[in-house]
Chain A
Amino acid sequence: MVPSSDVVLTQLRKGVVEYCVLACLRSGPAYGLELAERLGATSTLLTSEGTLYPLLSRLRQQGWVTTTQIASPMGPPRRYYELTTEGQAALETFTATWSRFTADVRTTLEQ
């Protein structure tokens, strides 16, 4: 059976998207909607914006991000997510590994 592109994407997102979220926080804290926009509404990284929130909860429980509630000019207070030192270190490890991994994948696919 040939997998659909959705199935392939679901597999590829596992273990990758959380680091993309961390990367989006490198430039500074962001609230949920802002973070979803940074990730790109039309990108393949998220199935939908709602799927970002279970992931953010796991990152917070891992200690890779912290949350702070800050008053919003519109609506309820915003929950800002901020990268921790540990999250920054995890992102650096991933980035270094990812570069090697993608280079190997590309080399293999283009053979």
Chain B
Amino acid sequence: MSPPRRSSAVWSPPDDALLAGLGAGDEEAAVAFVRRFQHRVYGLAYGILGDAGAAQDVAQEAFVRAWRHAAAYDARRGPVVTWLLAITRNAAIEALRVRRPQPIDPDSILALQMPSAEPRPDALAVLSEETDRLRAELALLPVEQRRAVLLAAYMGRTAREVGDIEGIPLGTAKTRIRTGLLRLHSAMAADRGAT
């Protein structure tokens, strides 16, 4: 059997093995799991909430939920980091609805882009390439479509809510969300096909 893949001189345990250790109550795995994902989890929470204290609370809540529900993770539905960020987004949306009647400017989410200094394992490195491409495609979207997509994707806003926030008719909000996501999807699909 060939040895496990190594991304650098120091081998990093796979995300799902760390999650398994976290779920089993292993403290070292918990430390490694938090260290690996804290910049993403905290960054997403801060991007959605725009408040450091609230973001810290939500990020910690996201890690606690991941710990409690580690056994429910299904690798067939996507990588661990996506699962964890979906948990973070949902926790942030819950906090957002309690703390703030109106969401912050969706474009401010993308203004915060601080890459983690932590060396990335293979899986995250691959995801990072796709992420960079998606960020570039987002920047190319018409601003009104980008705002609508960000309000939906990050803040869980429905078309009706996007219409209210942006002061546009419901039909226009639907069109902006759907056209924006389909454009991103087409660009990413073409990119995947080209690589």
Q: Do A and B come from one complex?
A: no
Chain A positions near chain B (C-beta within 8 angstroms)? none
